[in-house]
Chains A and B, each alone.
Chain A
Amino acid sequence: MTKQFLLDGQPVPFEDGQTILEAARKAGHYIPSLCWHQDFPPHGSCKLCIVKAAGRHVSACATPAKEGWEVESNTPEMNGERRGLLQMLFVEGNHFCPSCEKSGNCELQALGYEYEMLTPRFRHFFPERPVDASHPDMLLDFNRCIFCELCVRASRDVDGKSVFALTGRGIHKHLTVNAESGRLADTDFSKDDLAARICPVGVILPKGRGFTVPIGERTFDTETIRSRTLKEEKS
């Protein structure tokens, strides 16, 4: 007999080893995430997949499903917490959507819309994060980094290059390039690397592309991140 837990009162079947997030999405229930990727182990840093399971707050991406659990996800309380997390992410970096070429294709922005982040809430940090344009094909705009480490993991575990790393602690944490000069041009990074196309926000960008995709044809112009994520899960 299949095991199951209750997600917002709906039964969700799962197999041993599956996390709450994996089982929920497979069953057609959306739980948001930014740092989770199906090809990598759970990271649990963005906390957007936060749910209440058996009365405790847990990261759905990193918590194995358990038989009989009652899990709260799509509730005013949990969505309010997600909105707060998004508001924190937006002030931690320098996210100027109006002139960002990732606008319309950015998962952070799409989640801002999904969770109705309509107002600022916290004071902006305005960190100093210079752009690295040294590479002939790719641009790094550190202003938009959310520390998901997808590029770190992709470069290390798939590309075999370890081009990126997070350094510094707490408020001083930032993405760095693994070269003595700290410049992308002085690494063996290539535009064909998985790390070059895995960034969910607008940090790692191909040079010269800019706004070549018109408004109306961008990823999240025609569908929400919720419907797109669930569609990808089905395929």
Chain B
Amino acid sequence: MSFELETATNRESLRRVAIDPVSRVEGHGKVTLLLDNAGHVKEARLHIVEFRGFEKFIQGRPYWEVPVMVQRLCGICPVSHHLAASKALDPVVGATQITPTAEKVRRLMHYGQILQSHALHFFHLSSPDLLFGFESPVHQRNIVGVAAAYPHVAKEGVLLRKFGQEVIRVTAGKRVHGTGAIPGGVNKSVSAADRDLLRKDADQVVSWSRDAVHLARRLHESNSPLYDEFGLFRSHLFSLVRADGAMDLYDGHLRLRDARGQIVRDNMPCTDYEQHIVEEVKPWSYMKFPFIRELGPAKGWYKVGPLARVQNCDFIPSPLAEAERQDFIARGDGEPIHAPLAYHWARMIEMLHAAEVVRDLLDDPDLLSDDRLTSGPKGREGVGIIEAPRGTLIHHYRVGEDDLISYCNLIVSTTHNNQAMNEAVRQVARRYLDGRQLTEGLLNHIEVAIRAFDPCLSCATHALGKMPLAVELVDEHGQLVDRAVSGG
């Protein structure tokens, strides 16, 4: 099926503009716009142009290797893949219930990951657009520019991320690509020395995270016509929630709300995901388009990630973040907030929640226990679902009698948001680019909309890539009219 502005009717006669690759996002993607002679947008697509093939080459590898191997999908959120794979493979070693120590160490690792990834996205990738403006001088629109103009903001961003990375190091052995979680539990507890090291900074991190929420909120409220309308579209919201409806980023059941905020599917067990989610393939992108089977491709697509989670849960189980969530929800005036730029505010609320969870977990004596592993009668299949920084992450494996992986299915956060990001691109193209002479600043509007979702395109195609931005203007005969290169 095709959405409005997804496919133009007379494509060969249109002028093509490409943003290739999209910059300040994780991974490699491009946007193409097809314009008629009057500059009206006739087609807008976000393409994911790389193919990685993890699902295939994991097959035939021993199951115990997978949580470490599969995390190489990503250098930003490897912990999410590491933990989702470990959760999926717990039943394979007979661990239907892991020990309290194992679960708490994994949770600590995961919330450390949420904290560092959200800090990276807000401060390093998006704050230049938000603080300086979408059409500000391109030489200023980066983290170095932020450090020069707002040194405290940049410093706190860097230190917040560092703290999250330290939490990961303490629990996984390394800041990036560690080995902490294994099928059945974890390979290490937290030492008292490491716990004390983290606890020393935990209150400061909570305080800075709260400042970050207030900064995101202030930016939103000080320019609400832009923030409320930019790239706006409505969709379902999808995420994990805890059994009691609380936000839970490590475990729970699946919940779907419609665009008006009504819960339309709830208590969906993770193991049943295949009954509810279908992935559609389109010929122009390596990223699939998931939708809810019962609702069909036209109506069943949805948003995931912070904006979905903050509004899909009934409450956040930490006081400071819950208070901020209440203020956020109040702004919707009884309706869910769908504005893509509200992702930033929601993301910072989650970062505050992660900081509170990490601080509180550090006081839990279970973290220090040696009761780390569980085993039992072996299973042959498992599904692990986790709320990664960018949204719902699904890992599903089957293991043969010889202990080798025979089947692997990964549906990553950014893939869930594929249709949503395409919609945001089209909305921005219609509103800001249609009929106008294109400039770098105008094209950056498209990228601002994509960045709001914090897409990880490397994960979504299950590539290594640098992030230079190249914009090409090609006339209707395919001749290059103009080309600009920046970044990278």
Contacts and interface: CB of A to CB of B under 8 A. Distances in A.
Nearest to A139: B62
B404 A214 contact: no
Given A212-B182, A213-B187, A101 B65 contact: yes
Contact of B403 (A133, A212, A215): A133
Interface in B162-217: 172-174, 177-180, 182-183, 187-188
A189 to B, nearest CB: 15
Nearest to B172: A215
A99 B177 CA distance: 9
Interface of B: 60-62, 64-65, 67-69, 72, 93, 172-174, 177-180, 182-183, 187-188, 373, 402-404
A107 B69 CA distance: 21
A227 interface: no
Contacts of A134: 402
- Closest 9 A/B residue pairs (Cβ): A215-B173, A210-B64, A99-B69, A214-B188, A133-B402, A211-B179, A214-B187, A133-B404, A99-B68
Interface of A: 98-101, 130-131, 133-134, 139, 207-217
Nearest to B64: A210
Contacts of A130: 60
Contacts of A99: 65, 68-69, 72
Contacts of A210: 62, 64-65, 68, 182-183
A214 B60 contact: no
Contacts of A217: 188
A214 B402 CA distance: 25
A91 B397 CA distance: 30
Given A98-B177, A213-B187, A208 B404 contact: no
Contacts of B180: 214
Contacts of B183: 210
Contact of A207 (B62, B177, B188): B62
* Interface SS of A by simple majority: loop
A216 B178 CA distance: 11
A100 B187 CA distance: 16
Contacts of A139: 62, 403
A131 B60 contact: yes
Contacts of B179: 211, 214-215
A207 B375 CA distance: 14
Nearest to A207: B403
A18 B187 CA distance: 43
Contact of A208 (B61, B93, B188, B402): B93
12 contacts: A101-B68, A131-B62, A133-B62, A133-B402, A134-B402, A139-B62, A139-B403, A207-B64, A208-B64, A211-B67, A215-B178, A216-B188
A98 B72 CA distance: 8
Nearest to B378: A208
B271 to A, nearest CB: 23
Given A98-B72, A211-B179, A214-B179, 4 more contacts: A99-B72, A101-B68, A208-B403, A212-B373
Nearest to B182: A211
Contacts of B182: 210-212
B60 A211 contact: no
A132 to B, nearest CB: 9
A109 B65 CA distance: 18
A130 B59 CA distance: 12
A131 B187 contact: no
A131 B69 contact: no
Contacts of A209: 64
B74 to A, nearest CB: 13
A211 B72 CA distance: 15
Contacts of A98: 68-69, 72, 177
Given A208-B403, A210-B64, A215 B72 contact: no
Pick from A98, A100, A208 the residue with the most CB of B within 10 Å: A208
Contacts of A213: 187
A144 to B, nearest CB: 12
B173 A214 contact: yes
Contacts of B67: 211
A213 B372 CA distance: 12
A173 to B, nearest CB: 23
Contacts of B403: 133, 139, 207-208
Nearest to A212: B187
A211 B181 CA distance: 9
Contacts of A100: 65
A101 to B, nearest CB: 6
Contacts of B402: 133-134
Pick from A98, A130, A134, A212 the residue with the most CB of B within 10 Å: A212
B61 A131 contact: yes
B404 A131 contact: yes
Pick from A130, A134, A214 the residue with the most CB of B within 10 Å: A214
A101 B64 contact: yes
A139 B187 CA distance: 21
Nearest to A133: B402
Contacts of B61: 131
B405 to A, nearest CB: 10
A215 B174 contact: yes
A216 B177 CA distance: 14
Pick from B62, B93, B403 the residue with the most CB of A within 10 Å: B62
Nearest to A134: B402
Contacts of A208: 64, 93, 403
B60 to A, nearest CB: 6
A211 B64 contact: yes
Nearest to A98: B72
B68 A211 contact: yes
Nearest to A217: B188
A216 B64 contact: no
A131 B59 CA distance: 11
A220 B65 CA distance: 20
A73 B182 CA distance: 42
A126 to B, nearest CB: 12
Nearest to A215: B173
A150 B182 CA distance: 30
A211 B62 contact: no
Contacts of B64: 101, 207-211
A212 B403 CA distance: 17
A20 B309 CA distance: 67
Nearest to B62: A139
A212 B181 CA distance: 9
Contacts of A214: 173, 179-180, 187-188
B65 to A, nearest CB: 6
Contacts of B62: 131, 133, 139, 207, 210
